[in-house]
Amino acid sequence: MFEDRPNRDAEVVLVGRSNVGKSTVMRELTGHDVSTGGKPGVTRQPNHFDWTAQDFMFTDLPGFGFMSGVKDERREQIQTDIVHYLEEYADHILAGVLVLDGNSAVEIIDRHADRGEVPHDVEMFGFLREVGIEPIVAVNKMDKVDDEDERLNAICDRLGVYPPWQQWQGETIAPICAKRGSMEPLYECLRTRFHEAKRDDLLGFVS
């Protein structure tokens, strides 16, 4: 089980497959350099960045799905730990940011669905809602996508959110390119969540 969680009352968590750019998103959100690597599965424990004065933190949870050099048993344990973490701290989590790779998410989801499996991304989106954490979908690496609207509509469709995606702008769907610092759509979604939670004191983190 993940240990050493700072005692903070408000939290934003990042979840997603390995290698979708979660750590890069985290770096943009916090201004701190986070371990990133070309190999999936670099993050094996939660990375917390916390602020005592605001009683708040951002948490980057380990990636799920394929991880380079990680045995299936260990991978499954990490996934179980992620689920338990989200269940245990759901009341403190203001937003669960599901990070997807805009360039490959649809193909990966379809490949798993074609094999009769529930794709991890779809499962995680539903699970966040189940435990009372309204998800934000940060669709990363949009610089590699040719037809943005078509891709985002397809992602909405796979997640069971009705397209067109524009109706979820500023609330649930955030097309970004973290590597280039193009994060405003995600900041907008987080501002909405902070405001709804009556935590306008946190708006400075996403301005």
* Distance separating alpha carbons of residues 28 and 91, to the nearest angstrom: 25
52-78 mean pLDDT: 81
Instruction: Give the separation between CA 47 and CA 16, rounded to whole angstroms.
Output: 14
Residue 1's pLDDT is 55
Please, are residues 136 and 95 in contact by the beta-carbon 8 Å criterion? yes
More confident residue, 1 or 179: 179
Q: Give residue 173's pLDDT.
A: 98
Per domain, the residue ranges of the chain are: 10-201
Residues 6+ away with beta carbon under 8 Å from 100: 16, 17, 20, 121, 137, 138, 139, 140, 155
* CB proximity list for 122: less than 8 A, separation 6 or greater: 109, 113, 158, 159, 160
| Sheet with strand 56-60: strands edge to edge | 47-51, 56-60, 10-16, 93-101, 135-140, 173-175
pLDDT of residue 68: 57
- Does the global pTM surpass 0.85? yes
> At the top level of CATH, which class does the domain 10-201 belong to?
alpha beta
- What average pLDDT does range 67-78 have in this prediction? 73
- 14 pLDDT band, cuts 50/70/90, is very high
pLDDT tens, residue by residue, 131-174: 999 999 999 999 999 999 999 999 999 999 999 999 999 999 99
On the question of pLDDT at 42 being above 60, the answer is: no
Given this model, what pLDDT does residue 2 score? 65
Residue 74: what pLDDT?
77
pLDDT digits (tens, 9 = 90+) for 89-132: 999 999 999 999 999 999 999 999 999 998 999 999 999 999 99
Res. 40: pLDDT tops 50: no
